[in-house]
């Protein structure tokens, strides 16, 4: 019998050291390069990287629609873990990657010169998870995590 839960977990192993994957996730100039499906020319990012700080991303869809994401940073354990909580007033159930009132935990596990990155999202309830996925949450994150891996493989962040 399948376990029914309001949590979603996605994971990738990247051929990059944990320090680089951490930097790419915590530096707003790098983060805007890979966050979301619209590309860096359509994405801006601001990050007050401290507990209690705000993480915000604004994406412009190709049709001109603005797609905001905003969260409060709840926990930082460098270089192992970051925990965010999506803003309650997110305009969509997906929250552009940070769903409303969902707790998103990003784990960075060193595997010698590789990194296992895991994104765990705990939704307030099953309805919130279903609504987020109907709005493209899991699909978009999987594409974004794959794109991040491709960029790391191409050396897009070399020199950091």
Q: What are the sequence ranges of the domains in the chain?
A: 7-154
How much is the pLDDT for 1? 45
How much is the pLDDT for 39? 66
Phi, psi of 57 (to 5 degrees): -135, 140
How much is the pLDDT for 60? 75
Per-residue pLDDT band for 4 (boundaries 50, 70, 90) equals low
How much is the pLDDT for 43? 76
pTM over 0.75: yes
How much is the pLDDT for 33? 83
For the cut 60, the answer to whether the pLDDT of residue 11 exceeds it is yes
According to CATH, the topology of domain 7-154 is Alpha-D-Glucose-1,6-Bisphosphate; Chain A, domain 4 (3.30.530)
């Amino acid at each position: 019998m399948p376990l029914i839960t309001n949590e979603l977990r996605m994971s990738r192993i990247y051929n990059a050291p944990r320090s680089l994957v951490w930097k790419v996730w915590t530096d707003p100039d790098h983060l805007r390069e890979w966050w979301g499906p619209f590309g860096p020319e359509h994405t801006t990012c601001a990050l007050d990287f401290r507990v209690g700080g705000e993480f915000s991303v604004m994406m412009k869809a190709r049709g001109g629609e603005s797609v905001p994401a905003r969260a409060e940073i709840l926990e930082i354990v460098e270089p192992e873990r970051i925990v965010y909580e999506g803003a309650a007033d997110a305009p969509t159930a997906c929250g552009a990657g940070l769903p409303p009132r969902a707790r998103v935990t990003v784990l960075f596990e060193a595997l010698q010169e590789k990194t296992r990155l895991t994104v765990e999202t705990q939704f307030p309830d099953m309805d919130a998870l279903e609504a987020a996925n109907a709005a493209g949450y899991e699909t978009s994150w999987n594409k974004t995590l794959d794109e991040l891996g491709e960029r790391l493989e191409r050396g897009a962040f070399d020199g950091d």
